[in-house]
Amino acid sequence: MAKLFDKIKSFVDKKILKNTHKRENIQSDFVLETRGLGISFGGLKAAQNVNLRIKKNEIYGLIGPNGAGKTTVFNLLTGVYQPTEGAFYLNGEDLTALPQDKINHKGIARTFQNIRLFNNMTVIRNVMVGLANQPEYNCSLFESIFRLPRHFKVEKAMRQRAKEILRIFDLEDERNNLACNLPYGKQRKLEIARALATNPKLLLLDEPAAGMNPNETEDLVNTIKTIRDNFDMTILLIEHDMKFVSGLCDEITVLNFGTVLAEGDTKTALNNPDVIKAYIGG
C-alpha cells in the first residue's frame, strides 16, 4: 500500500507538478550548504542567491530588517516553498524540492514565528508526535489495531524518551497539561522540544526570543547552548534582538531585500557599514 502510494505521488510530482529538479549529492564539509538558493513569486524576488555554509555544532544567525526574506529562507529549507533556483544540501545530500515531511525525516526540524502547537493535546503527546517517525519507534497500523506486543513496547519506549526530552526543558511536571494552557515561555520551549524529538541534524529556530522578557531570554540562551552540547546539534536561528544574537551566534548572515548583505563572524558582520546602513537608514 505504501509503495503504491509513493509511486502515485512521484508520478504526480513528475508529470503534473512538473517538478524537474534533478537531485545530485555533493561532497561537503558543512552540515548545511546552500548554493545560489532563491525563489521568486512572479516578479518579486523574495530571496536571491543565498549561500549559507553552516559548520557542525555551530549556532548560526540569520538577521535582517523586516521583510528581508529570512522566514522565506526557512520556508525554502523546510520545503514549504520549492526553490525556483539553486539547491541546498544537508551533509552533502541534496534535499531540494522534497516534500516537508521527507525533509524532516532527513534531519531538518523547525519552530515557527507564531507558536504552532497541537493545542488540544497534552504536552507529552505533542512530543510523542515528533518521535513517531524514527525507525526504532516503527509500528504498523495492523500492529496498533490488534494491540500486538510491539505496539506496547513502542508506546512505552516513546513515553520514556518523551519524558527525557521534557526533563531537559523543565516541562516534565507539566506533561499532562494541555499545550494551550501553558504560559508563553513554556509554549516556546515545548515547540523546541517537539522539533528536537524528530531527531534532527539541523534545528531551525524562527525568532525564539520574540515576546520574551529579559529573564526568559537569558533562560533561552542557556537552553539553546544546552541543546547544542547535549544533542550534538547545529542550530540556525532568526532573531531581531541584537544582544541575543551577538551573545549566542558564532557566525551570522545578514539579509536585506532578499539578498545577502554581509556574512561571516558575528562582530565583523554586525559592524559592516552596509549592515548599519540597512538597519538605521541613511
Partner 1 sequence: MKIVKKNLNYIIIGSVAFIMMILGIVGLPLSITELLEKIAIAIILAVSLNMVVGFLGELSLGHAGFMCIGAYMGGKLAALLSSSLGGTNILTVILALIVGGLCAGICGFIVGLPALRLRGDYLAIVTLAFGEIVKNIVENSDFFGGQTGLKSPQFIKNRFILFTIGFLVVLLTIFVIQNIIKSKHGRAITAIRDNEIAAKATGINVTKYKLMGFVVSAVFAGLAGALYSFTCSNIQAITFDYNYSIEILVIVVLGGMTVNGSIISATLITALNTILQTKLGGSFAVAKDLIYALILILVVIYKNAPALKDFREKYNLGNLWRKIFKHKNDPSTVRDDATRWDVVPTKISMDEVLSTEIIVDNTGDNSADIGERGGNK
Residues that bind partner 1 (CB under 8 A): 2, 5, 8-9, 78, 100-101, 104-105, 109-110, 112, 116-122, 124-125, 128-130, 132-133, 137, 139, 141, 144-147, 151, 154-155, 158-159, 175-176, 178, 180-181, 194-195, 198
Q: Would you mind telling me the total number of residues written for the chain in this entry?
A: 282
- Smallest distance from partner 1 to CB 100, Å: 4
> Which residue, 123 or 245, is less far from partner 1 as judged by CB?
123
- Smallest distance from partner 1 to CB 119, Å: 6
> Which residue, 20 or 120, is less far from partner 1 as judged by CB?
120
- Smallest distance from partner 1 to CB 52, Å: 19
> Which residue, 166 or 261, is less far from partner 1 as judged by CB?
166
- Smallest distance from partner 1 to CB 43, Å: 27
- Smallest distance from partner 1 to CB 20, Å: 21
HEC assignment per residue over the chain? CHHHHHHHHHHHHHHHCCCCCCCCCCCCCCCEEEEEEEEEECCEEEEEEECCEECCCCEEEEECCCCCCHHHHHHHHCCCCCCCEEEEEECCEECCCCCHHHHHHHCEEECCCCCCCCCCCEHHHHHHHHHCCCHHHCCCHHHHHCCCHHHHHHHHHHHHHHHHHHHHCCCHHHCCCEHHHCCHHHHHHHHHHHHHHCCCCEEEEECCCCCCCHHHHHHHHHHHHHHHHHHCCEEEEECCCHHHHHHHCCEEEEEECCEEEEEEEHHHHHCCHHHHHHHHCC
> Which residue, 105 or 228, is less far from partner 1 as judged by CB?
105
> Which residue, 156 or 277, is less far from partner 1 as judged by CB?
156
- Smallest distance from partner 1 to CB 130, Å: 5
> Which residue, 34 or 187, is less far from partner 1 as judged by CB?
187
> Which residue, 116 or 167, is less far from partner 1 as judged by CB?
116
- Smallest distance from partner 1 to CB 132, Å: 5
CA–CA gap between residue 126 and residue 187 (Å, rounded): 11
CA–CA gap between residue 106 and residue 268 (Å, rounded): 33
